[in-house]
Amino acid sequence: MTKELITFLDANGLGDYGQSKHIEEGAPFEVISSTVKQLGSDLLVIGTHGRSGIAKMFLGSVAEEVLRSLDVGILTVPPTR
């Protein structure tokens, strides 16, 4: 999975802009939460799916859980329409 992600980033011109990559597998909220705490982050930028209504209620929302639970600045970015 890690190699595939790095290949995708490189192929789309997102490979290396001086930032580090942190790739970890697991339940999304737990991984995001532990990484934010481990890095001592002041800001988290997270994309959203833009689901609404029944789909959002049944599928849940990682971004929504992050907003409710983490004590850092959070910027949510919806998909382009």
Is 60 domain-assigned?
Answer: yes
Is 63 domain-assigned?
Answer: yes
Can you list the alpha helix ranges (DSSP code H) found in the chain?
Answer: 2-11, 28-39, 53-59, 62-69
Q: What is the pLDDT of residue 77?
A: 84
Q: Are 46 and 69 in contact (CB under 8 A)?
A: no
For the chain, what is the domain count? 1
Q: What is the pLDDT of residue 42?
A: 92
The structure tokens listed for 25 are 């597998």
The structure tokens listed for 28 are 């999304």
Instruction: Chunk the chain into consecutive blocks of 10 residues (it has 81) and report each block's average pLDDT, rounded to whole numbers.
Output: 77 71 85 93 86 64 89 87 71
Is 11 domain-assigned?
Answer: no
Residue numbers of the domain that contains 74: 27-81
The structure tokens listed for 21 are 């990559």
Q: What is the pLDDT of residue 57?
A: 59
Closest C-alpha to 31, from 51, 56, 1: 1
Is 1 domain-assigned?
Answer: no
